[in-house]
């Protein structure tokens, strides 16, 4: 039996105040792919991620994750579905009332199956993964620098080691060294766990280092989707403009 | 190939297979843990048949092994890496220390906080005086727009709700007093009772409680969110004084709006009382209005309105103080808003008591 695609969007349409953001948009992401989602600013990249997460219900079309429709009425199936994905929000979106440790421990505690020692080890493991010290666990989100917020948010998104990881501008605001570390980290996790990753990014280095596939969002739909090398050759004003002279760097 | 995690004990060794991830383990976690504990004594572990191993499972295995590598371990490099990462963690991870506080410490902390808040409010008051002195010398910097906006928000937009509450309270008091007065045959004293109680006491306090809940909380939340989103800091970087532009218009706006609201609410409450008196005691409007000035000396109105001025000032300064001390997190925002409303209402009642003591000989016929 062929496994169902991790993400399947079919004819999705959404509009804000009469202005169409997506129209008849379709996308199919298979297991193990790392998809870089590109598009000009205001082209609806974050909106697309919100649709995949089920935070925004499209006006038309269907969104299926792991073969399950997001409109599935069964609450238990919905919750189990949500546990299979992790999201890194653009601004981090850490719970400001909880410490770093509690932020990362939160999804683990919500399972109500793990004991305190297990959770503590896992949290410290995640902290080490994203390059933070155990002592950082005591800090509150307000005391963190921008780059640290991002790393803690990534650690939280990885807490359950989800099968699908959605990243909104993961390396924006990180210094080049850190973003290289980040690329290596996500790459190694992907190999170990067979993660599927969808990331919105403007950073060509991240895209070159990580993505296996590229999806280009323009004119309210996905105009190109495929392996990196293939998409580079697409003749569309956005694609040629975006990659420009750097086209070769990605290959 | 089965995906659920499996554990097989063969003579001399333990063979694990399947998908050892948190999601797959969850449904049968207690059983798996029990099986692992039973195998803890074995030294030969074969992990080569595992399709996936995540860090949660790695931690579970590492704990089962008593935090050291088993003598004979067969595993892929990939899975070995995951285990190594767990093994690299410090052996004893210190528990997050939670400071336990004893009762006297808690009382002391509370007292220090109260003193700190009082100090903050006095400092804000001082800053306000400095700002006023500055504005007297630079009249072109007076924030008229913000001031009028605050009068409108805290005053005009509160007219409906204060009128409704005032009317209902007026009806209630009039109705209850009428029942008592009727049994003594002292119907006519309803004018005195309503006049004195509403104009001197109930009007100002009622409005103060409503405004503290309505405008005070809004001020704290607004300034607090401006702090969280660093908008206050933006003002400073533009060289604009945050007290002159944000705090001062709020405080003076409410100080001006409050006495007007008190006047309005007292009037509506008296009207409600008159209506109930008409229905209950057949006391005509004309009689009521004619006798009101005689029963209630004008000093009471002055006291009521000055209470309005003082209460408005107190509510606004408390609200602004708490707003300026919001820390950038949601918990602090909600705690500060709560403290602002509670402190404002308590302080208003305190000032009301002070008023009562110092005006005890004034305005009582």
DSSP notation for B58-92: HHHHHHHTTSS--SEEE--HHHHHHHHHHHTS-SS
Residue B97 lies in a domain: no
* B287 and B202 part of one domain: yes
Alpha carbon distance B223, B201 (integer Å): 31
Count of residues for chain A? 251
Residue A8 lies in a domain: no
Interface test with A, best of B32, B54, B63 (most A CBs within 10 A): B54
Residue A114 lies in a domain: yes
Nearest one of B230, B205, B218, B208 to B319, comparing CA atoms: B218
Please indicate whether, in this complex, the C-beta atoms of B29 and A140 are within 8 angstroms of each other: no
Overall number of domains in chain B: 2
If one compares A86 and A250, the residue with the highest pLDDT of the two is A86
* B152 and B80 part of one domain: no
Q: What distance lies between CA B125 and its chain's CA centroid?
A: 22
Query: pLDDT by residue (tens digit) across A11-61?
Result: 888 888 778 888 888 888 888 888 888 877 778 888 888 888 888 888 888
A28 with A35: CB under 8 angstroms?
Answer: no
**Helix, strand, coil percent content, chain B, rounded in steps of 5:** 75, 5, 20
Residue B207 lies in a domain: yes
Structural domain boundaries enclosing B37: 6-87
A130 with A150: CB under 8 angstroms?
Answer: no
The reported pLDDT for the residue numbered B94 is 60
Overall number of domains in chain A: 1
* B242 and B319 part of one domain: yes
Alpha carbon distance B268, A83 (integer Å): 57
Residue A44 lies in a domain: no
Minimal-distance CA residue of chain A relative to B80: A192
What residues in A contact B29, CB-CB < 8 Å? 113
Give me A16's structure tokens: 């804000």
Residue B23 lies in a domain: yes
Residue A179 lies in a domain: no
A161: left (phi over 0), alpha (psi -120 to 50) or beta: left
Residue A180 lies in a domain: no
Nearest one of A195, A247, A157, A236 to A34, comparing CA atoms: A195
* B218 and B287 part of one domain: yes
Residue B100 lies in a domain: no
* B58 and B149 part of one domain: no
Q: What is the DSSP letter of A130?
A: T
* B187 and B301 part of one domain: yes
Residue B272 lies in a domain: yes
Query: pLDDT band at A1, cuts 50/70/90?
Result: very low
Residue A59 lies in a domain: no
Give the 3-state secondary structure of residue A194: coil
Say which of A117, A134, A192 has its CB closest to residue B78.
A192
Minimal-distance CA residue of chain B relative to A140: B329
| B window 144-183, beta carbon within 8 A of A | none
Q: What distance lies between CA B133 and its chain's CA centroid?
A: 33
Please indicate whether, in this complex, the C-beta atoms of B59 and A194 are within 8 angstroms of each other: no
CATH number of the CATH domain containing B72: 3.30.750.24
| Phi, psi at B19, each rounded to 5° | -100, 100
Minimal-distance CA residue of chain A relative to B61: A118
Query: pLDDT by residue (tens digit) across B57-100?
Result: 888 888 777 777 777 777 777 778 778 877 877 656 565 566 77
* B215 and B346 part of one domain: yes
What does the mean pLDDT of chain B come to? 87
* B44 and B165 part of one domain: no
The pLDDT profile of chain B, 365 residues, written as one tens digit per residue, is: 447 777 777 777 788 787 887 777 777 888 888 877 777 777 777 777 777 778 888 888 887 777 777 777 777 777 787 788 778 776 565 655 667 778 899 999 999 999 999 999 999 999 999 999 999 999 988 889 999 999 999 999 999 999 999 999 999 999 999 988 888 888 888 999 999 999 999 999 999 999 999 999 999 999 999 988 888 888 888 888 888 989 999 999 999 999 999 999 999 999 999 999 999 888 889 998 999 988 889 999 999 999 999 999 999 999 999 999 998 778 888 999 999 999 999 999 999 999 999 998 887 76
A85: β partners:
A164
Q: What distance lies between CA B49 and its chain's CA centroid?
A: 56
Nearest-Cα distance to chain A for B112, in Å, is 23
Alpha helices (H) along chain A: 45-53, 75-83, 100-110, 116-129, 146-157, 176-193, 204-210, 228-232, 237-243
* B61 and B167 part of one domain: no
Label the pairing between strands B6-10 and A85-88.
unpaired
Nearest-Cα distance to chain A for B327, in Å, is 8
* B218 and B310 part of one domain: yes
Q: What is the DSSP letter of B238?
A: T
Alpha carbon distance B192, B210 (integer Å): 25
* B200 and B324 part of one domain: yes
Say which of A99, A120, A138 has its CB closest to residue B93.
A120
Give me B80's structure tokens: 């070995």
Residue A135 lies in a domain: yes
B93 touches chain A (CB under 8 A): yes
Residue B72 lies in a domain: yes
| Total CB pairs under 8 A between chain A and B | 75
Residue A24 lies in a domain: no
Structural domain boundaries enclosing A111: 100-161
Give me B102's structure tokens: 């004893």
Residue B109 lies in a domain: no
* Cα dihedral across residues A97, A102, A108, A113: positive or negative: negative
> How many other CB atoms sit within 10 Å of the CB of residue B95?
9
Residue B184 lies in a domain: yes
Tokens 């210094």 -> residue = A175
Name the helix (H) or strand (E) containing B52: strand B44-53
* B153 and B32 part of one domain: no
What residues in A contact B335, CB-CB < 8 Å? none
């Amino acid at each position: 039996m062929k496994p169902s695609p991790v993400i399947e969007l079919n004819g999705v349409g959404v509009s804000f105040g009469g202005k169409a953001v997506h129209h008849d948009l379709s996308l199919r992401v298979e297991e193990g792919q790392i998809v870089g989602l590109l598009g000009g600013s205001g082209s609806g990249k974050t909106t697309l991620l919100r649709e995949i997460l089920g935070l925004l219900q499209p006006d038309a079309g269907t969104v299926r994750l792991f073969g399950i429709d997001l409109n599935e009425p069964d609450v238990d199936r919905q919750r189990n579905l949500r546990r299979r994905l992790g999201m890194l929000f653009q601004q981090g979106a850490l719970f400001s009332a909880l410490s770093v440790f509690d932020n990362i421990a939160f999804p683990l505690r919500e399972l109500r199956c793990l004991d305190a020692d297990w959770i503590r080890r896992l949290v410290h493991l995640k902290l080490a993964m994203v390059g933070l010290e155990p002592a950082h666990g005591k800090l509150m989100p307000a005391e963190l620098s921008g780059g640290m917020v991002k790393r803690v948010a990534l650690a939280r998104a990885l807490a359950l080691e989800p099968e699908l990881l959605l990243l909104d501008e993961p390396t924006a605001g990180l210094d080049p060294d850190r973003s290289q570390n980040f690329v290596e980290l996500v790459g190694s996790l992907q190999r170990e766990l067979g993660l599927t990753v969808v990331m919105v990014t403007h950073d060509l280095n991240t895209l070159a280092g990580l993505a296996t596939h590229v999806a280009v969002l323009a004119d309210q739909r996905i105009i190109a989707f495929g392996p990196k090398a293939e998409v580079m050759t697409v003749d569309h004003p956005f694609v040629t403009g975006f990659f420009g002279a750097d086209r070769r760097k990605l290959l | 190939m089965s995906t659920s995690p499996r554990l097989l004990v063969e003579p001399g060794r333990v063979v694990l297979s399947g998908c050892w991830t948190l999601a797959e383990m969850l449904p049968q976690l207690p059983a798996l843990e029990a099986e692992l504990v039973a195998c803890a004594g074995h030294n030969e572990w074969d992990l080569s048949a595992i399709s996936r191993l995540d860090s949660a499972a790695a931690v579970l295995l590492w704990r089962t092994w008593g935090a050291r590598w088993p003598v004979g371990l067969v595993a892929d490099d990939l899975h070995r890496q995951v285990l190594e990462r767990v093994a690299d963690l410090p052996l004893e991870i210190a528990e997050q220390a939670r400071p336990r506080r004893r009762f006297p410490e808690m009382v002391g902390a509370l007292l220090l906080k109260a003193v700190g808040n009082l100090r903050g409010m006095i400092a804000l008051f001082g800053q306000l005086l400095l700002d006023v002195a500055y504005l007297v010398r630079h009249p072109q910097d007076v924030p008229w727009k913000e001031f009028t906006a605050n009068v409108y928000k805290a005053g005009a937009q509160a007219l409906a709700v204060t009128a409704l509450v005032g009317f209902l309270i007026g009806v209630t008091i009039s109705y209850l007093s009428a029942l008592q007065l009727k049994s003594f045959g002292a119907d006519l004293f309803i004018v005195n009772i309503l006049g004195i109680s509403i104009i001197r006491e109930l009007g100002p306090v009622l409005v103060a409680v409503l405004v503290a809940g309505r405008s005070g909380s809004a001020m704290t939340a607004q300034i607090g969110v401006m702090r969280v989103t660093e908008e206050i800091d933006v003002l400073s970087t533009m060289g604009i004084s945050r007290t002159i532009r944000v705090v001062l218009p709020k405080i003076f706006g409410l100080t001006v709006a409050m006495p007007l609201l008190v006047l309005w609410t007292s009037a509506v409450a008296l009207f409600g009382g008159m209506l109930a008196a008409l229905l209950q005691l057949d006391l005509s409007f004309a009689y009521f209005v004619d006798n009101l000035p005689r029963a209630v000396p004008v000093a009471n109105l002055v006291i009521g309105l000055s209470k309005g001025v003082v209460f408005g000032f107190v509510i606004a300064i408390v609200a602004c103080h708490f707003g300026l001390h919001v820390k950038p997190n949601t918990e602090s925002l909600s705690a500060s808003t709560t403290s602002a409303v509670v402190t404002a209402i308590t302080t208003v009642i305190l000032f009301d008591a002070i008023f009562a003591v110092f005006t005890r000989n004034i305005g009582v016929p």
